[in-house]
Structure 1
Amino acid sequence: MSKKKMEEAYGDVSLEMLADLTLTNGISGHERDVQEVFKDWVKESVDSIEYDNLGSIIAIKKGQENGPKVMFAGHIDEIGFLVKNIDNNGYIRLHPVGGWWPHVLLSQPVTITTRKGHAYVGVVGSKAPHGMKPEVRNKVLSMDEIFVDIGVSSKEEVELIGIQIGDMVTPKADFHVLANPNYLMSKAWDDRVGAAIVMDIMRNLKGLDLVSTVYGVGTVQEEVGLRGAKTAAQRINPDVAITLDVTIATDTPGEDNRIKLGVGATLEVMDGSYIGHKGLLYMLQDLADDLKIDTQFEMLAAGGTDSGEIHKVHDGVIALTVSIPARYIHSHYGIIHRKDYADTVKLLTEFVKTFDNKHLITLQEYKTMPF
């Protein structure tokens, strides 16, 4: 009887780029270092790089003068905290930036970055369970009860090393290829994986002659209200926009197994911020079939993606979100699958390589047809 072999790593995926992107610290409003990583990996493949006034980075691959404008967007901010208060004993209280469940924070390391760029490691404090009453042990702490210990004895020592109110606090993690090499674990997959897909699409277009002008955008401040998407889309005024973002994988114990890792491309029908353009969804579905890429469909009743703001700018934008399933998002570590990444890059690269005015007219006329 032959033994089953472990899967080989799927697709052409740059682990160096993914690690570079995910491990760079940058919460909402503090994305400058991530912006530089994005720029370094795409600058040789595009014609120009611009920025809007909030800090979203826009890499541009020029097409024909009268061709469509296609925007790909992945947000480059991650969730984290700001220093809220420093008590007399040097313990640091936190203000959340983005959505946190405090249950996942206890005993986890964080990095505090000062105004001068110095980084200090601390740990979220937790009590020993010995003798703890059940009502205390089973309680999820509120953010007001969470504190960081950076290993000092007083407030004065914290101030001496330059930490002040408002400094950025980020989860501290490492990049891991797991037992099956298709499973990748790191911090900030929400949404550095989407930004990386945008970057790889732009890298794949190097040297090609396109009809469409393509805008690869790393948006800022998504986690606090889709803010960078709005200003970037206002600047670009795209004809078509595709957002790349994570969605919640439900293939873990106790879940419904509806959204799985390792399927291929996940097309989002709607979320709490927008309803996807059905013509664009069907166009990508048909292309995926032609490319023999498997698809699954996502619908979220709550939560939003950058499509929520992009589709409303000017007189409206044909928009869709393509999702990347991830486990354990909004924590120190998430897990994604290489097949979802590589297949999404392939699908969207092939889409934009052939997208022209005829395709755009097809999508524009679809709005007059019944869904």
Structure 2
Amino acid sequence: MTENILSDYRMLKELTQKFGPSGNEKEVSDYIAAQIHPLVDKVESDPLGNLVAHRKGSGLRVMIACHMDEVGVMITHIDERGYLYFSPVGGLISSELVNKRVIFQNKRIGIVCKDKEKSGERTTEKIYIDIGASRESEARKVVKEGDMAVLVGDYVETDNCIISKALDNRLACFLVIEFLKHIQSKHELYIVFTCQEEVGARGAKTAAYSIRPDLALVIDATRSYDRPQESNQTCLDRGVAIKAMDKSIIVSPQIKNWMAEMARKKKIEHQWEVISTGSTDSGPVHLTAGGIPTGGLALPVRYLHTGNEVASKKDLNSALKLLAELVLNPFTR
């Protein structure tokens, strides 16, 4: 596969704008299920909320995993003036949300605000959400404790880039759907759109235990280090990143060498992901059921976990090419 086969990104736009914080991925799951139903032999949701698709084959059992969920917030308290207090769901820093908009599942918009409160010599910051209510009873008509909201981030597309909320990890979901459209393999494929990755990769653990594949390939976003005064390690427009290490996994030399050799052989532009912080579904997957050979593909994204994540179309195309070659020519022990 040498040509760029990704040219229509309308599905990606729809995916990014779906509401899907960790533990509440059903809107995303239902959309994906409708897209892939004609492309697989079976698709179903498991008790935890993973969407699992099965395509029959006679070769190895290959699992491809990408998470559906996005970071967000959960309401913990509503005060007498109708202001909402919250806890982050996933890797959000509350102070960095100030003056940003969030949206609830019922489409109500809120603005994250900050006030300083002084008690003696101590000053603390209070961060809250303003939904335009003037009292608690008014706010409770539309929002209650336990409700979740996600960042607002419109989808914008340029010639070579995509800007949106939730590119982590709807970018990979889109990639895998396109893979199913264009690639046929003799191997038995399990495609898992996992839940709750942003809060501990919970869905991947249960899915891998149920499937027990011979090989797992995990696709996720990774931080792009090409901003000013950064390390320039994993960058946009340098191709898909092959995972060597993160906080939860050190990929075996055999797996990462197989992936890199396939990329070189097929002349697919690629780079390495070597990080000591952050983790993905590859962590719990490779530790499941006595150990599962697991590789990771990473899509560089600037401004992760914001409403304005930025990704490269070039990197997405190289990721699709490499994923196809890896599934057509899987690693065997």
TM-score range, shorter chain: over 0.9
Q: Which runs of 5+ in 1 are unaligned?
A: 1-9, 129-135, 365-371
Name 1:63's counterpart in structure 2: 57
Which residue is equivalent to 2:319? 344
The residue that corresponds to 1:37 in the other structure is 31
Q: Partner residue of 2:178?
A: 200
Deviation of residue 283 (structure 1)? 1.6
Report the CA distance shift for 1:70/1:309 in structure 2 as closer, same or farther (over 3 A).
same
Cα offset, 1:127, TM superposition: 6.3
8 Å contact 1:11–1:338 — kept in the other structure? no
Check whether the contact 2:240–2:300 (CA below 8 A) recurs between aligned residues. no
Q: Deviations over 1:18-67 (max 9, x none)?
A: 11111111111000001012112211111111222111011111111xx2
| Post-superposition offset of 1:94 | 0.9
> Partner of 1:5 in structure 2?
none
What SS class does the counterpart of residue 60 from structure 1 fall into?
A: strand
Deviations for 1:200-254, whole angstroms, at most 9, x for unmatched residues? 222223xx3x331111111000111110000111111111001101111111111
2:253 is matched with: 278
Are 2:129 and 1:148 equivalent residues in the alignment?
Answer: yes
Tell me the distance in 2 between the aligned counterparts of 1:13 and 1:43.
22
Residues of 1 paired with 2:234 and 2:165: CA distance? 20
For residues 119-162 of structure 1, what are the alpha-carbon distances to aligned partners after superposition, in whole Å with 9 as ceiling and x for unaligned? 2111112469xxxxxxx9xx9x86xx21111111111111223x
Q: Is the 8 A contact 1:184 1:337 kept in 2?
A: yes
2:262 is the alignment partner of 1:287: yes
Whole-Å Cα distance in 2 between the matches of residues 192 and 104 of structure 1?
A: 22
Using the alignment, how far apart are the partners of 1:100 and 1:187 within structure 2?
13
Q: Secondary structure at the match of 1:269?
A: strand
Residues 208 and 288, structure 2, Cα contact 8 Å, conserved in 1: yes
Change beyond 3 A, Cα 1:11–1:204: closer
Match status 1:169 vs 2:149: yes
**Alpha-carbon contact 1:251-1:260 (below 8 Å) kept:** yes
Aligned residue runs from structure 1 range 288-303, under 5 A = 288-303=263-278
- Which residues of 2 match residues 146-295 of structure 1 at below 5 A? 146-161=127-142, 163-178=143-158, 181-205=159-183, 208=184, 210-295=185-270
Q: Relative to structure 1, is the Cα distance of residues 103 and 14 closer, same or farther in structure 2, using a 3 angstrom cutoff? A: farther
Which of 121, 124, 145 is matched with 2:112 structurally?
124
SS in 2 for 1:119: coil
1 CA distance for matches of 2:208 and 2:181? Answer: 21
C-alpha contact (below 8 Å) 1:220/1:228 kept by paired residues = yes
Partner letter of residue 83 of structure 2?
A: Y
TM-align CA RMSD: 1.9
Residue 294 of structure 2 corresponds to which residue in structure 1?
319
> One-letter code of the match for 2:71?
I
Gaps of 5+ in 2: 117-121
Take 1:212 and 1:315, find their aligned partners in 2: how far apart are those partners? 22
Match of 1:14 among 2, 8, 24: 8
State the partner residue of 1:94. Answer: 86
Mapped contact 1:287–1:347 kept (Cα < 8 A): yes
- Change in Cα spacing, 1:331 to 1:167, as seen in structure 2 (3 Å) is same
**Total equivalences in the alignment:** 325
Question: Quick check: 100-109 or 333-342, which moved more?
Answer: 100-109
Q: Is the 8 A contact 2:243 2:298 kept in 1?
A: yes
SS in 1 for 2:298: strand
How far the C-alpha of 1:353 sits from its partner, in A, is 2.5
Quote the Cα distance in structure 2 between the aligned partners of 1:50 and 1:63: 18
TM-score (norm 2): 0.93
Which of these two proteins has the greater Rg computed from alpha carbons? 1
CA contact (8 A) 2:101 2:110 kept: yes
Q: Which amino acid is the alignment partner of residue 60 of structure 2?
A: P
CA contact (8 A) 2:23 2:195 kept: yes
Aligned equivalents of 2:308, 2:76: Cα separation in 1: 24
Q: Aligned partners of 1:87 and 1:332: how far apart in 2?
A: 27
For normalisation by structure 1, the TM-score amounts to 0.84
CA shift, 1:297, in A, is 0.9
Tell me, in whole angstroms, the C-alpha distance in 2 between the residues paired with 1:251 and 1:332. Answer: 19
